Structure 1
Amino acid sequence: MDPTRLFVKDVKRVIIKVGTAVVTRSDGRLALGRLGSLFEQVKELNSQGFELILVSSGAVGVGRQRLKYRRLLNSSFADLQKPQVELDGKACAAVGQNGLMALYDSLFSLLDVTSSQLLVTDRDFQDPEFRIQLTETVNSLLDLRVVPVFNENDAISSRRTPYQDSSGIFWDNDSLAALLALELKADLLVLLSDVEGLYSGPPGEPHSKLIHTYVKEKHQGQITFGEKSRVGRGGMTAKVKSAVCAASAGTPVIITSGFAPDNIIRVLRGERVGTLFHQNAHLWALPKEVSAREMAASARECSRRLQSMPAEDRKKILFDVADALEVNEDLIRKENEADVVAAQKAGYDTSLISRLTLKQGKIASLAKSIRALADMEDPIGLVSKRIEVADGLVLEKTSCPLGVLLIIFESRPDALVQIASLAIQSGNGVLLKGGKEAMRSNAILHKIITGAIPDNVGKRLIGLVTSREAIPDLLKLDDVIDLVIPRGSNMLVSQIKESTKIPVLGHADGICHVYVDKSVNMDMAKRIVLDAKTDYPAACNSMETLLVHKDLAKSGSLDGLLQELRSKGVVLYGGNRASAELGIPLARSLRHEYSSMACAVELVDSVRAAIDHIHCYGSAHTDCIVTEDNDVAEVFLNQVDSAAVFHNASTRFCDGARFGLGAEVGISTGRIHARGPVGVEGLLTTRWILRGSGQVVDGDKDVIYTHKYLPLE
């Protein structure tokens, strides 16, 4: 939870103001999709015990749309050629209010929520008895879990026009919402707009930045507001004025977008959404808005300090990180469970939720891996080659960190721990961007890990990127970021590769094959195939396609293997041949990563046919042959062009920890720099160090080149 939003833990009564720009589309018609999403959020929060009050604009806009249509139907062609008189705003309000509330009632009824309508004018609030009665009525409705819906009664308002007169107790629905927030003692006021919040300039301009927390002393006079709302009365100026008024009187206010499908829920989770107005904002030591370049530059500076430390000091940092994770296990699990619950409610698929969940024993396993990593040989400064270039001139090829890494990953909070520990061991700075579904888990893990990094290195060695909007800026920084590693879907990896000049390391798909040859021990084949598919089907190294020699299908030996898979709950799909001969439903594609308890099966004529199939449909991740014929096995091992190729072993072994790398930052299927599980070595590059005693080239007149390889010391 963002430190500036901690107060939401105690929020119960919330007023939500829905602007006309949210209620209607650009053509003036009702935005049914947005309203449906809004009401679904209200339904969920209502069921969680929040007391919700709506203040809704839109009646005038809805009425104008209807009356224009009615006037068109009743007009002759001659009438339409005459200048059209502007429709009376009060008539529009009277017609539109009826239609708007009928729609609201219908939508709420579909969600089994009861709503009520309360129309008010500013004159009503001049009567003390009215204000007392209003509070009692609203309290009664909220006790019954009814959602009160307020609107200014523009049809009978005594002001000159509902668009120009800003006198009185309130002058639009923004100021009405602020007034009600104070009158009804709300804990929070949310003003929904057509932009994400208050910006430092026009929202559409590149230099404009979202202001996460408004500080009157800092921002007043520095922000220029644009035009008023396209349909409402005031736009952002009116919202800010109302927000400042309510916040200074004690009710926090958040201005955020009503176009996002879950912003109200995110606000009440304490996420850094929109712009916050709070009476104590001027007292807070607000975090400075750090640019993408500043983050990367800080990570590089910290990495250089880390590289200069003795190996034992870097080792101690890793041990401190492991200890801190174990000490804070209960806190980590609590935050992770909140992420999992939210993901389940949001309808994420089971494979993502599986990757998101930190199961019992996972923290202990991560801590153990970090300690194993710390005990490995120091990877920095290792000499891999020594050459005597000439007499007294010795050249060494040594290992050194890459510099600054940008890791973009989805759903797996344990990846953050592995990546951070590898960065410390390899002396690299790292910027981490996890998926929003793991927001709480990533935040607490980042806080614990950076808390174990000493000040003489700097907490910014490991940066946590919390805004998705920051990614495009980071991908432009090819001068300060040295490598991007995306860990996630094919779409994510492809988008990253298309969006940056920075080298990208990773894999788009994990389409792993197991080929069962005709010369096989079927008991072994069953063990390997079942493990490769069912041990952790969401992993990228799980089997997605089972290739089987045709003779095993003819002899019936394959039947038992397929039955074993089905008994474990695996859904089978067939390639063209397997589907026809085995009666399996035809696979949609043989180049498909299921990441679930499903896989494809295909029959092949020989090991060479299996190799051709893998090269055609595979993703060069991990492929395996199960056979007792060593000659066939060698053909497969030497000719399959994948990052990892196995003989008689499950594809699930393709993992940094299982390979003894301590941990992995990801798996690379590329052919440059690193392939397979990428551990510490994959995060290092080399540099040449030359030691001499005053030699100069001078046209090579006096240099006798020996180029003699020397033993490593």
Structure 2
Amino acid sequence: MDSTDSSRAFVKDVKRLVVKVGTAVVTRSDGRLALGRLGALLEQLKELNSQGFEIILVSSGAVGVGRQRLRYRKLVNSSLADLQKPQNELDGKACAAVGQSSLMALYDTLFSQLDVTSSQLLVTDSDFRDEDFRKQLYDTVQSLLDLRVIPIFNENDAVSTRKAPYEDSSGIFWDNDSLAGLLALELKADLLVLLSDVEGLYSGPPSEPNSKLIHTYIRAKHQAEITFGDKSRVGRGGMTAKVNAAYCAACAGIPVVITSGFAMDSIIKVLEGKRVGTLFHRDAHLWVKQVGAREMAVAARESSRRLQALQSQDRRKILLDVADALEANESLIKVENEADVAAAQEAGYAKSLVSRLALKPGKISSLAKSIRILADMEEPIGQILKRTELADGLILEKTSCPLGVLLIVFESRPDALVQIASLAIRSGNGLLLKGGKEAMRSNAILHKVITSAIPDTVGEKLIGLVTSREEIPDLLKLDDVIDLVIPRGSNKLVSQIKESTKIPVLGHADGICHVYVDKSANLDVAKNIVIDAKIDYPAACNAMETLLVHKDLACNGALNELVVELQHEGVGLFGGPRASKLLKIPETRLFHHEYNSMVCTVEIVDDVRAAIDHIHQHGSAHTDCIVAEDQKVAETFLCQVDSAAVFHNASTRFCDGARFGLGAEVGISTSRIHARGPVGVEGLLTTRWYRNPERPFFYNFLVLLFNDIEREWTRRRW
């Protein structure tokens, strides 16, 4: 129950916390103070205070304590005749005035025994309407915390302007739960802990056997499911007030945990990241594990079969609806993406990652345009690839069909989610997506927008979004349900996935792309290609990482011109053994290195064959190009470099699904089996054989004629 929870990882950064103690925690069932329970709680706060945590306490209980004392005093001073008369309810403000001093005296006594100093701060709703008060409040509390003093807050009900302070729910705050939430914001707390008489928020009254503890509250999921019981026996809040206060604080960026104040070490467990109580967090909807790995994959397969059963024009309409939905929600997508970018920058991520993460202006429009192009392409499903008559009336057809269910694991780039999802829809495949945590908000909103455009006849589960890394190992075991894994990310990611699954894996580990400038090259053409390959998008996998130059260009000054062009654009240079000595630049320690930034390696080679050998030894079989005017040299390079894409007088950046006319790409594959290079719709299809029933004679005649023409055309072409 109290094992560590990855969703509680944020607690490692908590320094300042607000702890709210409910009336039911402070008092016993008879209304008297619960001295043992309160003492155990304060021992926890003393321990945290000594560890350097900044503790702010908000305590209920004054009204309850005062009511108990006044009842006793009234009983002592009443005659037998007075006791036989109807008893009026005690005034709440009077109870608060009497109880506050008793409550604070107890806190002071208990804290003194623990060698901790506490202070009292009484506030009213109207105080917070004054900006100067709020500033002074922050400064005072900061001074107390610097002195290791624990401030104890309570609403000053005795002088509150509320008509009924224990019932009124108007104003800036309306009970000590909402006061605790307000103080957490005003005092810039890292965490708010609301202590109750139960372990946390339950799906129903905790006394009912079917009620279950909710570990992470998600408003969209739990709001309609929860049945609240009666309010707490004393005080004015109850669980309803706690949930409202917790949700408001969480939306404002303050994580909240509702947990038991009866447990001996509940606050310490919360700060250790243990799975206790109920967590409220503004990103909670992104963490929740809605279904298990197998259920998610099976649901995607079932939805994909419904998608395949649609008419071609219906599948096309889904893509057009997705494009429209993206454009209609561009502002919302932008907000979430900017939040991811800001968080990545604050966390100190590399500039190359932040660059891949950002959806730059015009990106959504560009993605929508690509989807529409994809929608207008020829229908890929059910294409007859081969037709053979095995015997009279027996015709065998080989046709294209979807692979089934794809699992795509990608890092950083939220635009990849859009491309992959549109390709899956076009090719009739089910899809499971796992993006990087740095793009969590962007991926969540993009997934929501895209699945909202999928009709109920197919089902939004066609595209599942995996939100936790812990689910990946389970998914990689499902070789009976998932048909292909495509990792898009670092070499480490791809290697880990290949080692962890029996499912076929398609993709590339590194993008070590080369540009070889031959001695026959046009220097102006070479400059343009080299600059484009390196600086157009340095973080891309098809950016140039190594520049190879013929040795003659090192002698005639052409190499220097290329180097000056790169340095002028701000590119940092490392050299191989020959280039570093000639150009006086640092020598690289490793040729097989993907910089993903404005840095590249330069080396001098003897000729085209030396360049080819270098690429085979140090490259990643991704994309390589030659700049040359000598056609024979160029032909040698094109024929002998064993990479997924090989170009003559073209930048490595040309290796892109959109530029290839694929509409979009699911990734670039360096595999030699199945698909290679930019993988579009065709790379997500496989084949199956049909035995057609006997056809009319005229149909068979046309089939045979077609086959004869096809064979003759093939013979002549070769």
TM-score (norm 1): 0.69
Q: Would the alpha carbon gap of residues 711 and 689 (structure 1) be closer, same or farther in structure 2, given more than 3 Å must change?
A: farther
Given that 1:118 and 1:149 are in contact with CA atoms closer than 8 Å, whether structure 2 keeps it comes out as: no
Q: Is 1:104–2:80 an aligned residue pair?
A: no
Work out whether residues 396 and 691 of structure 2, in 8 Å CA contact, stay in contact via their aligned partners in 1.
Answer: yes
Measure, in 2, the Cα distance between the counterparts of 1:511 and 1:644. 12
Determine helix, strand or coil for the equivalent of 1:492.
Answer: helix
How far residue 553 of structure 1 moved from its aligned partner, in angstroms, is 1.0
Q: How does 1:278-427 map to 2 (within 5 A)?
A: 289-427=290-428
1:143 aligns with 2:131: no
Question: What is residue 533 of structure 1 aligned with on the other side?
Answer: 534
Question: Distance in 2 between the 1:222 and 1:99 partners?
Answer: 37
Match of 1:473, SS state, is helix
Cα offset, 1:550, TM superposition: 1.4
- Alpha-carbon deviation of 1:135? 3.6
- Confirm whether residue 270 of structure 1 aligns to residue 241 of structure 2: no
1:270 is displaced (CA, Å) by 3.0
Q: 1:120 to 1:515 in 2, by over 3 A?
A: same
Q: What does the per-residue CA deviation read over 1:369-391, in whole Å, with 9 as the maximum and x for residues that have no partner?
A: 11111111000011111112122
Unmatched segments (≥5 aa) in structure 1: 1-18, 23-32, 43-51, 57-89, 106-114, 155-178, 199-210, 226-242, 275-286, 695-705
Write the deviation string for residues 153-207 of structure 1: whole angstroms up to 9, x where unpaired: 99xxxxxxxxxxxxxxxxxxxxxxxx974774658895789xxxx9xxxxxxxxx
CA contact under 8 A between 2:20 and 2:59: conserved in structure 1? no
Alpha carbons of structure 1 residues 54 and 104: separation in structure 2 relative to 1, 3 Å: farther
Structure 2 residue corresponding to 1:129, chosen from 86, 96, 100: 100
Is the CA contact (8 Å cut-off) linking 1:332 and 1:441 kept in structure 2?
yes
Distance 1:223 1:95 in 2: 31
- For residue 352 of structure 1, give the secondary structure of its aligned residue in structure 2: helix
Amino acid at match of 1:387: T
* Deviation (angstroms), 1:691: 2.0
* 1:273-325 C-alpha deviation (Å, 9 max, x unpaired): 88xxxxxxxxxxxx993111111111111111111111111111111111111
Counterpart of 2:139 in structure 1: which amino acid?
L
Contact residue 135 and residue 184 of structure 1 kept, 8 A = no
Change (3 A) 1:216 1:624: same
What are the superposed Cα offsets for residues 326-377 of structure 1, whole Å, 9 maximum, x if unpaired?
1111111121111111111111111111111111111111111111111110
**Equivalent position to 1:38, from 4, 11, 14:** 14
Give the percent of matched residue pairs that are identical in Structure 1 and Structure 2: 61
1:270 and 1:97 map into 2 onto residues whose CA distance is 28
Does residue 679 of structure 1 match 2:667?
A: no
Deviates more, 1:664-673 or 1:451-460: 451-460
Provide the rounded CA distance (Å) in 2 between the counterparts of 1:220 and 1:523. 80
CA drift at 1:246 = 6.2
Q: Distance in 2 between matches of 1:328 and 1:505?
A: 32
**AA paired with 1:663?**
A
**1:148-159 alignment runs, 5 A limit:** none
The alpha carbon displacement at 1:693 in A equals 4.3
Distance 2:305 2:41 in 1: 65
- In the alignment, which residue of structure 1 is the partner of 2:239? 247
Q: Distance in 2 between matches of 1:272 and 1:118?
A: 29
* Cα separation, partners in 2 of 1:522 and 1:431, compared to 1, 3 Å: same
- Asked whether the equivalents of residues 622 and 677 of structure 2 are also in contact (C-alpha less than 8 Å), the reply is yes
Amino acid in structure 2 at the alignment position of 1:359: K
The structural deviation recorded for 1:708 is 11
2:204 aligned with 1:216: yes
Q: Secondary structure of the residue that 1:369 maps to in structure 2?
A: helix
Q: 1:654 is aligned with what amino acid?
A: C
Shift of 1:120: 9.4
SS at match of 2:475: helix
What is the deviation of 1:272? Answer: 4.0
Q: Hey, what does 1:697 align to over in structure 2?
A: none
1:458 aligns with 2:423: no
Contact 2:18–2:56, Cα closer than 8 Å, also in 1: no
The 3 A distance-change label for structure 1 pair 501 and 192 is farther
Mapped pair 1:505 → 2:497:
no
Q: TM-score, normalised by structure 2?
A: 0.68
Instruction: Tell me how far 1:646 sits from its aligned partner.
Output: 0.6
Task: Output the amino acid matched with 1:37.
Answer: D
1:647 and 1:594 mapped to 2: Cα distance? 24
Is the CA contact (8 Å cut-off) linking 2:488 and 2:494 kept in structure 1? yes
Runs of 5+ in structure 2 lacking a partner?
Answer: 22-37, 66-97, 105-119, 129-133, 151-174, 185-189, 214-230, 247-255, 259-268, 696-703, 712-718
Q: Equivalents in 2 of 1:373, 1:92: separation in Å?
A: 65
Change (3 A) 1:181 1:618: same
CA contact (8 A) 2:383 2:400 kept: yes
Residues 129 and 402 of structure 1: is their aligned pair in 2 closer, same or farther, counting only changes over 3 Å?
same
In 1, the alpha carbon distance for the partners of 2:308 and 2:642 equals: 36
Task: Deviation per CA, 1:124-164: give whole Å up to 9, x if none.
Answer: 994622469444499877532846769x999xxxxxxxxxx
For residue 539 of structure 1, report the CA deviation from its aligned partner: 0.4
Contact 1:318/1:425 (8 A) holds in 2: yes
SS at match of 1:670: coil
- Residues 246/185 of structure 1: CA separation in 2 closer, same or farther (3 Å cut): farther
Change (3 A) 1:99 1:414: closer
* 1:441-520 → structure 2 map (5 Å cutoff): 441-520=442-521
Provide the rounded CA distance (Å) in 1 between the counterparts of 2:316 and 2:300: 19
Distance, in Å, in 1 between the alignment partners of 2:671 and 2:193 is 46
Distance 2:203 2:40 in 1: 38
* Equivalent residues of 1:622, 1:654 under 8 A apart: yes
Distance across 2 between alignment mates of 1:34 and 1:357? 24
Residue pair 2:546, 2:600 contacting (<8 A) in 1 also: yes
Q: Distance in 2 between matches of 1:96 and 1:575?
A: 61
SS, match of residue 687 in structure 1: strand
2:251 matched residue in structure 1: none
Q: Using the alignment, how far apart are the partners of 1:712 and 1:616 within structure 2?
A: 41
Residue correspondences, number: 550
3-state SS in 2 of match to 1:216: coil
Question: How far is the alpha carbon of 1:116 from its aligned partner?
Answer: 7.0
Which residues in structure 2 correspond to 1:8-87 (within 5 Å)?
Answer: 37-39=13-15, 53=18
Letter in 2 for 1:247: M
Task: Specify whether residues 380 and 182 from structure 1 end up closer, same or farther in structure 2 by C-alpha distance, changes over 3 A only.
Answer: closer
CA gap of 1:409–1:260, structure 2 versus 1, over 3 A, is farther
Higher Cα Rg: structure 1 or 2?
2
Q: CA RMSD in A?
A: 4.3
Query: 1:314 touches 1:424 (CA, 8 Å); kept in 2?
Result: yes
Instruction: Report if the CA contact (8 A) 2:286-2:440 is conserved.
Output: no
Residues 34-69 of structure 1: CA distance to partner in whole angstroms, max 9, x if unpaired?
997333xx5xxxxxxxxx52689xxxxxxxxxxxxx
In 1, the alpha carbon distance for the partners of 2:687 and 2:473 equals: 29
Superimposed CA distance per residue, residues 214-268 of structure 1 (whole angstroms, 9 cap, x where no aligned partner): 423599647999xxxxxxxxxxxxxxxxx9996344343536964579x9xx965
